[in-house]
Amino acid sequence: MVILLCVVLTIIISVVGMMAKQSIGEASLEKIGKIIEICMCTDLNDDGVVNTDDLLIMANAYKSHPGHEKWNLLADLDGNDLINIVDLCTVAKDYGKTV
Ligand SMILES: [Ca+2]
Ligand SMILES: [Ca+2]
């Protein structure tokens, strides 16, 4: 579900980007794309920064699946119904990024 949302957002960003290139600069479009990517995916607590709080959310849900008491849909970044190393590495990759 999260992956589908990210894909849809990526498509929207691409379309909007093509339409908006004439009115705003290339650097601004890149920044907007990064903001949306961070907001929707790896900034799990939506506080504007990817940091240890997000990693803690991931750690609390680690090895969980739908129906498990620690399941957290937000932490399943690749949408495979399992919180695992792939999801953890995705957050780690963005560590320190801010909106
Ligand atoms: Ca965060
Ligand atoms: Ca996953």
pLDDT digits (tens, 9 = 90+) for 54-92: 999 999 999 999 999 999 999 999 999 999 999 999 999
What does pTM read for this prediction?
A: 0.62
pLDDT digits (tens, 9 = 90+) for 1-25: 656 555 555 555 566 556 656 566 6
* Euclidean distance between CA atoms 24 and 88, whole angstroms: 35
* Euclidean distance between CA atoms 68 and 80, whole angstroms: 14
- Identify the nearest ligand to the CA of 41 by its number: 1
- Identify the nearest ligand to the CA of 62 by its number: 2
Nearest Cα to Cα of residue 54 among 95, 99, 6: 95
**Domains of the chain: total:** 1
Residue 50 is assigned to a structural domain of this protein: yes
Residue 98 is assigned to a structural domain of this protein: no
| Domain limits for position 63 | 2-93
Å from CA of 59 to ligand 2 middle: 12
Q: Tally the C-alpha atoms within 13 A of residue 90's C-alpha that lie toward its C-beta.
A: 21
Å from CA of 37 to ligand 1 middle: 13
Å from CA of 49 to ligand 2 middle: 21
